[in-house]
Structure 1
Amino acid sequence: MDDTSEHAEFHDLLDRWAAAIVANDADAIASFAEPDWVIVGPEGGPSRLSDFLAVVRSGELTHSEMTFEILDVRRFGDIALVLAHGTNKGEWQGEPFSADEWVSEAFVRRADGWRCVQSALTPNYAAATPPTAR
């Protein structure tokens, strides 16, 4: 898709947020999200920011890599919806994991910048499925 200024703005934002996650810095991670941020992933139901930060602080969840490719940005005043393709690697409770996902993010613009209010992760099953024989 086009690399518009909005794409560039959110690419930079997600790159900085990913850097905080890879640094396993709970306070830095929190600075990108609203206090009532919710994430929904394939591993379970909705999880609040406080729960996510708790597992980061405890060391149960660590990330070693995270990247995003912005696919679409839709702005509605102080609300933005971002669709991205994301990959990440890390450890959960000492076990390695890797993920290839479609990421849907909802942001609200505050006086000091954009803050995420909700994230939804959908596995990219096509990446794990071998191409059909022709």
Structure 2
Amino acid sequence: MSTIRELETQWAQAEIAADVSTLDKLATDDFTLVGPFGFVLDKGQWLDRYRSGDLTTSELDWRDLQVREIGDTTLVIGIHDQKAAYRGTPSNGQFRATHIWVRTAEGWRLAGTQLSPIGRPA
């Protein structure tokens, strides 16, 4: 069985490669993404961005992970630094990201992701 850190590495590599098959296997059927500007995507919408080629990620540095296992749920918070483009428009950025993993009969699956831009402290 893969550890959460190993699964996080697989996820980051799949995002860069636009590997829809791996992303599909890693995510729950009811996966939800909350983007850095508050938009919400379900699993189909998220995968379609890769499938269509609309979203390309050339670099993704996923680091400084804090991993907390709480029963059958694991919360991962880290820094998501990306070079990407959506429909040709750069969407580079550094975000604080939260991943929610749930233990299923098939193993750990990604149930949700939220990205928040990292700003200056108040």
Give the whole-Å Cα distance in 2 for the aligned partners of 1:96 and 1:105.
Answer: 23
Q: Which consecutive residues of structure 2, in runs of 5 or more, have no partner in the other structure?
A: none
Counterpart for residue 41 of structure 1: 35
Alignment match of 2:88 (pick from 94, 97, 106):
94
Does structure 1 retain, via aligned residues, the 8 Å contact 2:73–2:102?
A: yes
Counterpart for residue 31 of structure 1: 25
**What does 1:1-134 correspond to in 2, within 5 Å?**
9-126=3-120
Q: Structure 1 stretch 108-117 or stretch 57-66: which is displaced more?
A: 108-117
Q: Shift of residue 110 of structure 1?
A: 2.1
Question: Which stretches of structure 1, 4 residues or more, deviate above 6 A after TM superposition?
Answer: none
Structure 2 residue matching 1:125: 3-state secondary structure: coil
Per-residue CA deviations over 1:47-100 (Å, capped at 9, x if unaligned) read 101001111111111111112114322112211111111111111101222110
Does structure 2 retain, via aligned residues, the 8 Å contact 1:15–1:67?
A: no
Q: Shift of residue 121 of structure 1?
A: 0.6
Give the whole-Å Cα distance in 1 for the aligned partners of 2:67 and 2:36.
Answer: 23
| TM-score between both structures, scaled by the size of structure 2 | 0.88
| TM-score between both structures, scaled by the size of structure 1 | 0.81
Structure 1 residue matching 2:92: 3-state secondary structure: strand
Give the whole-Å Cα distance in 2 for the aligned partners of 1:77 and 1:70.
Answer: 22
Does structure 2 retain, via aligned residues, the 8 Å contact 1:102–1:123?
A: yes
Q: Which protein is bigger by CA-based radius of gyration?
A: 1
Q: Structure 1 stretch 19-28 or stretch 65-74: which is displaced more?
A: 65-74
Give the whole-Å Cα distance in 1 for the aligned partners of 2:8 and 2:69.
Answer: 16
Give the whole-Å Cα distance in 2 for the aligned partners of 1:11 and 1:75.
Answer: 12
Q: Shift of residue 111 of structure 1?
A: 3.3
Give the whole-Å Cα distance in 2 for the aligned partners of 1:62 and 1:44.
Answer: 20
Q: Shift of residue 40 of structure 1?
A: 0.4
Alignment: residue pair count: 119
Does structure 1 retain, via aligned residues, the 8 Å contact 2:33–2:40?
A: yes
